[in-house]
């Protein structure tokens, strides 16, 4: 898996945390205690922000899990490329885990990076106007879409995957730095199980139920079984 050591933190945590920690040590030796305290606290924040905890991934068929940690801020009917469906938007505050996960098992058929603005992630326009990575995921039930969206402070969306790769439900796919938003779009047949104001966890909270149609289940049984067999209880992939 790229980008992180499971159960610890992503590699960016070392890049952002070690320099202020070392500078804090130097400041302490020079008896610049206020500066030392500030730098050490900054390092602790970086280590905490980039933490990457393990998650227990739901195993029930048809479960669509949250792409990220945070609070549900939008649940609405919405068309995507002229297809009727539903969108769930989740706001990630700076204290939330920012590692993002795949909402379902399948193949990433398309991944678009869209440059844009850095509006506050709580704002409705952020889903359309902000910098974002848009993933189109083909599953046994059909096609869904999820987005990594940069916020006012977050200035970079990072993906560890590319088009054509297969992913498991709950598998780590990337992160957004320092406060952000994730969106999930599913077709109208899916049943949304969350409401505005709920707190969710990436990879473990079920946002929707989207059963595989009988015909699709028969055609995709072997590939689905293989994917499920490779999925561990924590979402770790070999």
Mean model confidence pLDDT for the chain: 80
Sheet containing 206-209: order of strands? 63-65, 206-209, 191-192
Q: What is the mean pLDDT of residues 164-168?
A: 93
Q: Which of 39-43, 48-52, 124-128, 225-229 has the highest mean pLDDT?
A: 39-43
pLDDT interval class at 16 (50, 70, 90)? confident
Active site residue 4: no
Distance, in Å, from the CA atom of 151 to the CA atom of 149, rounded to the nearest integer, reads: 7
Tokens of 66: 């949250």
DSSP secondary structure, the chain, as one string: --SB-TTSBBTHHHHHHHHHHHHHHHHHHTT-HHHHHHHHHHHHHHHHHTB----PPP-STTEEE-SSSEEEEEEEE--BTTB-EEEEEEEE-TTS--EEE-SSSEEEEEEEEE--B---TTSTTHHHHB-EEEEEEE-SS-EEEEEEEE-SS---EEES--TT-EE-TT-EEEEESSSEEEEEEEETTSEE---TT-EE-TTTSEEEE-PPPHHHHHHTHHHHHHHHHT--TT----
pLDDT at position 116, please?
A: 61
Out of 4, 127, 180, 205, the active site residue is 180
Span 182-207, pLDDT tens digits? 999 999 999 999 999 999 999 999 99
Would you mind telling me the total number of residues written for the chain in this entry? Answer: 238
Span 47-98, pLDDT tens digits? 877 788 888 999 888 999 999 999 999 999 999 888 999 999 999 888 888 8
Distance, in Å, from the CA atom of 126 to the CA atom of 110, rounded to the nearest integer, reads: 21
pTM, two decimal places: 0.76
pLDDT at position 178, please?
A: 66
Span 116-133, pLDDT tens digits? 665 555 556 556 667 788
pLDDT at position 214, please?
A: 63
pLDDT interval class at 151 (50, 70, 90)? low
């Amino acid at each position: 898996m790229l980008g992180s050591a499971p159960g610890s933190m992503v590699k960016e945590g070392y890049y952002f945390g070690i320099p202020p920690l070392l500078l804090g040590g130097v400041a302490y030796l020079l008896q610049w205690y206020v500066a030392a305290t500030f730098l050490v606290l900054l390092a602790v924040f970086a280590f905490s922000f980039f933490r990457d905890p393990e998650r227990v991934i739901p195993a029930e068929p048809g479960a669509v899990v949250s792409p990220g940690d945070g609070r549900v801020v939008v649940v609405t009917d919405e068309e995507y490329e002229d297809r009727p469906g539903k969108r769930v938007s989740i706001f990630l505050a700076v204290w939330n885990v920012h590692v993002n996960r795949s909402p379902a098992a399948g193949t990433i058929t398309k991944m678009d990076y869209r440059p844009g603005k850095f509006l506050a992630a709580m704002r409705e326009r952020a889903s359309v106007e902000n910098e974002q990575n848009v993933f189109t995921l083909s599953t046994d039930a059909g096609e869904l879409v999820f987005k990594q969206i940069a916020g006012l402070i977050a200035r970079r969306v990072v993906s560890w995957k590319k088009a054509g790769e297969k992913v498991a439900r709950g598998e780590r796919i990337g992160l957004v730095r320092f406060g952000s938003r994730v969106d999930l779009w599913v077709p109208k047949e899916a049943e949304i199980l969350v409401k505005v104001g709920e707190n969710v966890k990436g990879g473990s909270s079920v946002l929707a139920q989207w059963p595989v149609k009988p015909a699709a289940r028969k055609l995709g049984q072997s590939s689905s079984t293989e994917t499920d067999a490779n999925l561990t209880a924590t979402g770790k992939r070999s």
